[in-house]
Every structure is written in structure tokens, then in C-alpha cells.
A and B are shown apart, each in its own frame.
Chain A
Amino acid sequence: MKKTVTGLCLGLVLAACATTTTGTATMTKGEPPQVGAVDIATLIPELQAIAGYSYPDSRSGLLAVEKMVRESASPGLAAQLAALLHTTATPDAKQFACYQLVAIGTEAEVPAIAALLYDASTADMARYALQPMEFPSVDDALLTALDHAPAETHVGIINSLGARGSKAAVPTLRTLAAGVNPATAEAAQAALARIEG
């Protein structure tokens, strides 16, 4: 099954980007997501304003976005936040976007977030957003990342599968638990304990 989120054309919700195509995120089961680069200039002004945020800059722009999240919780805003993840925005801005996606991310944003699992420097922020999401496609995304993402991300991904109580992950976790890599084996054993009780 192929899920595609194209365009992130948010005209129905956010007039500021009514005609903007901000990128493409595609996820095919078993394969890493394919995501196109996004130009910051195509984001809504509030997100453009935070794209350069780094600690200890003023947080006023972040608070404005948090307010939008609280007041609208619109699918369009979630798509814009996911698009920001594939711009040249700072790591702090991307981490902030992932924080917001915990609250308002939809299944449509899963591929764009999951793409961050494939870079060790962004995998944690991706898990922060994905782990609590209720969609089965998150389990697929995490399991696929175990096959293709850098080795240093694997324990974290296994931990997220355990925290999610992912039944779909049990066969993979059993294999890892019996494996020779002590770090992934220990993590897989702990994850299985959480899933199976």
C-alpha cells in the first residue's frame, strides 16, 4: 500500500499558503519514506519566522505557533509543520515542530516525520512525535526504519515500539532479542516485556 501526501496545499485552512505546494512525502510499506526538499519561503509566515530559531533566541515566535496549535488544531497547520522538517530550518526549529506535531499530527504527516528516523541527528525528534501517535502506520514506519536507518538509531526505535505496545513488532523484536548485538537484544527484551506484559 502506498500512501502519498502531496502538495501540502493548505488553502482550505490557511489562506497564507493557499496556492503553495510545499513538498512531497511518500511512504511505501517496507521502504524508507521519500521526501522532497521544501523551501522555507513556501511556509506560512508564522513558520517562516521560527525557521531560524536557535536557543537562546526569543521564544515569541514559538509561542505564537503554540497558540495556533491550541486554537486551531487544523490539519493544515500540521502539514505545514511537517513540511518545515524538510526545509533548511534549524535543528531547534525542527524539534519544536515535532513537539507540536505530537498534539496535532495526523496520519498524513507520518511519512514526513518518519523520514527523520534515517538521520541519527534527527531520529530522536522524529520518535518524540511518532511514538505517541495512535496510527498503525507508525508501527510500519518504525519497523521499516529498523531495516534501513543507521545502526545508532535502532535502540531508540525499538524502545518506541515497546512504549507503543506494538503487537506488529513482536516477531521482529523476538529476532532482535535473540540476536548477538547486546544493545539491541537488551532493548528488544525490554520492549517485549512491555508489549507482552
Chain B
Amino acid sequence: MGTKPNKQTGSKQITRRDMLKGAAASAAVLGFPTIIPASAYGAQGKVPPSERIVMGCIGVGSQGTGNLKGFLNYDDFQFVAVADVDRNHRNRAAGLINAKNENEDCATYNDFRELLERTDLDGLSIAVPDHWHSIPAIAAARKGLHMYAEKPLALTLNEGRAMVDAVEANDVIWQTGSWQRSNRNFHRGCELVRNGYIGEVHTVHVGLPTGHEIEPQPVMPIPEGFDYDFWLGPAPEAPYTEKRCHWNFRWILDYSGGQLTDWAAHHVDIANWGMGTEATGPVSVNAEGHFPEEGLYNASVNFHLRCEFAAGASPVAPNGFTMYVSDKFNMGTEFIGTEGRIFVDRGDTLDIDPPALRDKKLGPNDTPIYQSRNHARNFISGVRKHEQCVAPIQAAHRAIAVAHLGNISMRLGREVKWDPAAESFVNDPQADRLRERAMRGDWHI
């Protein structure tokens, strides 16, 4: 992880996490409902402190603070600690938590590793820049902490795989912030596609936003209270300028994959959900893109990916199908089958052809797909029951892999062949090198 040695306890302690897990198992054995009933709640219908999921936050910029505000609506959570390399961010978040808890007890950390040394946590909300996704998540998984963590899953293919392995090996509950899965329209559209109501699907169009450009930015003094070197972390050294950091990191390839990865984590994820390709991937990707010629941002502004999925990869595409990912399509995901089409996007957009399908109820031989109507509550339920959430890490990995393959194809200027089972390129060591990046200094996963 980094140079700071981890304090390891020599003996196995029973943690709150073990108790949560044990309670879920016991309840299952005894046949009791595992959601705490209202009768067991404390005064005024609040969840008693002993039943709350004790949480910490890593990363409380705009996204992390938005997530935190959402979580604070639920008494199931008890937030106790915040880590962020920006003092203003962490103090702001601590203020929100203290107001909710009606005390001044929220601990603040510049270094997330100190937060992870706490023994009172059950889970984490993680919302850090993409180049920081793998390190804290893997460290937290090794400590048995459940996670609600932001998309896109990882900066590289190999980091994503390592995150999946760590979460699985440590049996922790994971919810990716791909909240579209908890939206009625996305669920409905995907369920119809998955059950064959538009016939055999041959084409999927995934529309994403166009990227960003900006003029060259001057080198600036690092703001007081912002630990810029820690913010860079595993990324290459670079001079500070305001527009490099916080929300704008995603337009720079040292820290992200651009708009392509940022939104593929939503709409390619939906494409995979509908097609049932959440545990596999394309066998070839050919991508073209346009990159800014000047300025600070260097991720592709325009992009067009053609991704071929093999026969059998999807239960509704026996002959295989093609997924196109482009900033030229309407935002959202469009499934085109032999008997109809479905287009779904945010904002109540669910176009179904033929229209009669709109009110179609699933038949007895159909297979419902996982249903959630509230992403945060789904995470709470997953932790309490120790069950998979609606946006598992494996699916997040496969969604973002499509975008990573596109970026690699663009970088090499050619089509790449991919083995989705082995998660490596086919006889292509040059492309295989781009599955990972060395980390700066002492950082590692």
C-alpha cells in the first residue's frame, strides 16, 4: 500500500463486522427476518445504536459528500470518521456527521490508512479519484470492511481484477455507485431484454457524453490544507494546478480514462445487465477517438468503440452481438433485437417497441432480475443479510473493462483481441502491457 507500516494485531478479535455477519447467518438458520423489525427500533422509530452499521468515509469531495448526505438520511448508518486529503472537504463532511449525531465526535484523517486502523468500523463509503480506487478498497477488503464505492471501478484492468479478488477472498459486501440499477426504468428495460421480449439481440448502442477540453493551465501554489502529494498518490508526479484536481481529474489519463470510463460505468453496465454479460466481455474491440491537441486535459473527447461479443456470451444473443459505444449516440442504452427495441436513459426515458411490451408482465417461465428501488437501502440490506447487492463488484469490473479495452485500442491505433475468460489479450503482449500501470513511489495494491 505505502510506506506507512500497518499495525497488525496478533490475535483474532471479534469485530462488529463479525457480529453483523454472525447475526445474518443465525437469522437465516432460525428463519427469522434479518431486517430489524420496527418493534426492535429505539425511541421515535430510530435504529438503536447497537444495530447501526458503523461507517467511515474515504473521500468526501463533491461526490463523496453527496453520497454521505444521502446516507445520513438513514438511521441505519452511524458515521464516525472521515478521511480526505483536503482539509476543507473533511471538515465539511465531519460537520455534517456531527450535526446528524448531535455531538462533535467525528474523527478526521488526512491519511485513510489511519482511518482503516480503527476497529469499530463495519463499512466504508469510498469516493476518491479513479487513480485512488484500488488501494484503499483492497486494504479495506483485507480488513473485512463492507463498501459502497464509486464507479468507475478501477484505473486499469489489472487493478479492477485485484479489487474483485480482494472483495471475494474476504467475503465483504460491495455496492458500486452505479445507481441506475436501482432505477425502475433501467430495471424494467433490462428485464424485458434479458427474458427475450425483443427477440434475439444483435446490436446494442451505448451513448455517452462528449469529453472535455481546456486551455493550458498555469502552475499554481498548492492551497493550504490540501495534501497534493497524497492526492497524486500512485499517479506520476505533476505540478499543481487547480483544474487537475477534484472533479476534473477525470479528464486526465494519469488519473482516469476520461468521459469514456466515467460514463461507461453507468451505461455499459446497463448494457451488460440487460444482455446478461456481467461475467464476461467482448472478444474484440476496435476504437477510434479524438484527443485534445492542447491544454491540460488529454483523455479522448470523441470516441467510437465497436465491441464484438461471441456467440453464447449472452443468453439473448445466441449468434453473438455487437456493442457500439460512442459519444455520437443519444445518451443511454439501446437494445435492438429481432422482434423489437428498447431504449433506456435517465429522466423517465424508457422507449419500448413494440409499445405493447410496456405493460407486459413476466411469465412463469421468465427469470426476474435483481430488483432494488433504493441504492443506499439496498446496501444496508446487503450488509445486514450478508447478501450480494444490486451492483456487485464483478459487474462493475466487466462494465469498465469495455471502456479500458477501448482506450487501449485507441492508444495502439488498432483492434485488440480479448479473452474475457483469461482477462488477457490474445497473443498480444504489447496490449497486455497496458492492462496495468506502475505506481509512483512506495504505493502498491
State the A residues within 8 Å of B (CB): 55-60, 63, 70-71, 73, 95, 102-104, 124-125, 127-128, 130-134, 155-156, 159-160, 162-163, 182-183, 186-187, 190-191
Partner of A183, one of B5, B435, B438, B443: B5
| Closest CB in chain B relative to A68 CB, distance in Å | 10
Q: How large is the interface on B (under 10, 10 to 19, 20 to 34, 35 or more residues)?
A: 35 or more
At the interface, yes or no: B437 with Cβ under 8 Å from chain A? yes
Cα of A63 to Cα of B218 in the assembled complex, Å? 20
**Nearest-CB residue, chain B, relative to A56:** B216
Whether A132 touches B5, Cβ cut-off 8 Å, given contacts A60-B294, A124-B237, is no
- CB pair B433–A190 under 8 Å, yes or no, is no
The answer to whether B436 touches A59 (Cβ under 8 A) is no
Q: Is the interface of B mostly helix, strand, loop or mixed?
A: loop
* Residues on B with beta carbons closer than 8 Å to the beta carbon of A57: 216
Sample (28) of A-B pairs whose CB atoms are under 8 Å apart: A55-B238, A56-B216, A56-B219, A58-B216, A59-B293, A59-B294, A60-B293, A60-B294, A71-B413, A103-B412, A103-B430, A124-B440, A130-B438, A131-B436, A131-B438, A132-B436, A132-B437, A132-B438, A134-B432, A134-B433, A155-B442, A159-B443, A159-B444, A160-B438, A163-B436, A163-B444, A187-B442, A187-B444
Beta-carbon contacts under 8 Å, B391-445 to A: 411-414, 429-430, 432-444
Count of A-B contacts judged by CB separation below 8 Å: 91
B residues apposed to A, CB below 8 Å: 1, 3, 5-6, 158, 216-219, 236-239, 241, 291, 293-296, 298, 411-414, 429-430, 432-444
Would A104 and B441 count as touching, CB distance under 8 A?
no
The interface residues of chain A lying within 8 Å CB-to-CB of B1 are 190
Interchain nearest-CB distance for A103 vs B (Å):
6
**Residues in chain B near residue A102, CB distance under 8 A:** 433-434
Contact of B441 among A58, A124, A131, A186 (CB under 8 A): A124
Return chain B residues, CB-CB under 8 Å to A58.
216, 294
Residues of A within 8 A of B412 (CB): 70, 73, 103
Q: Is the CB of B433 within 8 A of A133?
A: yes
The answer to whether residues A56 and B441 also contact, given A134-B429, A183-B3, A186-B6 and a CB cut-off of 8 A, is no
Instruction: Give the distance in Å from the alpha carbon of A69 to the alpha carbon of B430 in the complex.
Output: 12
Question: Which residues on B sit within 8 Å (CB–CB) of A128?
Answer: 236, 437-438
Chain B positions within 8 Å of A104 at CB level: 430
Q: How far is the CB of A140 from chain B (nearest CB, A)?
A: 17
A156 touches B442 (CB 8 A): yes
CB of A70 within 8 A of CB of B411, answer yes
CA distance A155 to B234 in the complex (A): 13
Looking at chain A's contact residues, is the secondary structure mostly helix, strand, loop, or mixed? helix
Q: Which residues from chain A contact B6 at a C-beta distance below 8 Å?
A: 186
Contact A103 B444 (CB under 8 A): no
Contact across chains for A159 and B298 when beta carbons are under 8 A apart: no
- In the complex, the answer to whether A125 meets B236 with C-beta atoms within 8 Å is yes
Given contacts A55-B238, A95-B236, A186-B5, contact A103 B442 (CB under 8 A): no
> Cα distance A7–B445 when bound, in Å?
39
What 3 A-B pairs come out closest when comparing CB atoms?
A70-B413, A132-B433, A159-B444
A73 adjacent to B296 (CB under 8 Å): no
Not counting A55-B239, A124-B441, a sample of 13 additional A-B residue pairs whose C-beta atoms are within 8 angstroms of each other reads: A55-B219, A60-B293, A70-B411, A73-B412, A103-B433, A128-B437, A132-B435, A134-B432, A134-B433, A155-B441, A156-B438, A163-B158, A187-B444
Q: Please, which residues of chain A bring their CB within 8 A of the CB of B298?
A: 59
B441 touches A156 (CB 8 A): yes
Q: Which of A63, A103, A133, A182 has the most CB of B within 10 A?
A: A103
B53 to nearest A CB, angstroms?
Answer: 29
Contacts of A187 in B (CB 8 A): 442, 444
From B1, B238, B294, B433, name the one whose CB has the most chain A CB atoms within 10 angstroms.
B433
Question: What are the residues of chain A within 8 A of B411 when measuring CB–CB?
Answer: 70, 103
Distance (Å) between the CB of A109 and the closest chain B CB? Answer: 13
A156 CA to B443 CA, complexed, in Å: 7
Instruction: Select A56's contact among B241, B432, B433, B440, beta carbons within 8 Å.
Output: B241
**CA separation between A73 and B443, bound complex, in Å?**
30
| CB of A87 to closest CB in B, whole Å | 20
Which residues of A sit under 8 angstroms from B237, Cβ to Cβ? 124
Cα distance A124–B414 when bound, in Å? 28
B434–A103 contact, CB under 8 A? yes
A73 interface neighbour in B294, B429, B430, Cβ under 8 Å? B430
List, in ascending order, chain B residues with CB within 8 A of A131's CB. Answer: 436-438
Given the complex, which residues of B lie within 8 Å of A190, measured CB to CB? 1, 444
Output the least CB separation between A85 and chain B (Å): 15
Most chain B C-beta atoms within 10 Å of own C-beta, residue among A57, A60, A128, A191: A128
The interface residues of chain A lying within 8 Å CB-to-CB of B296 are 56
Q: Which chain A residue shows the least CB distance to B295? A: A59
Q: Please give, as numbers and ranges, the residues of chain B lying within 8 Å of A159 by CB-CB distance.
A: 438-439, 442-444
